[in-house]
Amino acid sequence: IVELGIKKVHLVLHDFGGPWGLQFACNHPELVKSLTCVNTGPAPDYVWHDFAQIWRKPIIGEIFQFLSTHWSLRFFLNRDNPKPLPLEFTKLMVKDIDWGLSRGMLKLYRATDLAVLTKKLERQLKQLNVPALTLWGEGDKYVPVKHAQAQKEFFNAEIHTMPNCGHWPMIDDPELFESLLIPFLKKQVGAEQAEPLCA
């Protein structure tokens, strides 16, 4: 952001990108003009999903990753999703996975204490006053939709749940996703442009 000379950002966050992006927003409130959280956000009573519980276990996580293939991943993702994911999408998901990335992912899940992370974000986010949009697939098996309404405790958030969508609503129903996201972002950018250039 500094290298590119960008002065204002509109963050669109998904999954584990949520905690990273929200922490960035708390650390740099002067840069962040809006937040969009997609199937992510503070979730005080969150329980790790089945895959995460495997990844967090030493040795078992490594074996699971080593034995995973595109087709096994695709089978499990489609089993957990309200509708089949496009083949191109699942191929893209595995394209760059090598042993280094797998090890990094296992370290990330094992190093993350959700209770500590949520507590820290709770305190900081309540002081962050930016427009916020929450989009959530109603059929998400990994981060259940019950956490969507909880976002109102942390933001003045506009919340939309998306029927027949899972953890990747932007893939499951791109037209609905765009119809909710783009007007929100245009409104924020328009409000920015309407601000006087100097105080």
pLDDT at 193: 63
Tokens 């309404």 sit on residue: 149
Residues 158-197: tens digit of each pLDDT = 999 999 999 999 999 999 999 999 999 999 988 666 554 4
Residue 150 has which token pair?
């909880």
DSSP-H helix ranges across 81-173: 87-95, 99-111, 114-125, 146-150, 169-172
Which CATH number fits the domain 9-47+115-194, given the four candidates 3.40.50.1820, 3.40.50.620, 3.30.1120.10, 1.10.10.10? 3.40.50.1820
Average of pLDDT values for 126-151? Answer: 93
Per DSSP, the three-state class of 135 is strand
Cα 150 from Cα 159, distance rounded (Å): 10
Average of pLDDT values for 67-80? Answer: 94
- Structural Rg of the chain based on CA atoms: 18
pLDDT-derived band at 131 (thresholds 50, 70, 90) equals very high
Residues 6+ apart with CB under 8 A from 90: 70, 73, 74, 77
pLDDT at 192: 63
Q: Which one, of 156, 125, 128, lies nearest residue 33 by Cα? A: 128
pLDDT above 90 covers what percent of the chain? 70
Spell out the domain ranges in the chain. Answer: 9-47+115-194, 50-110
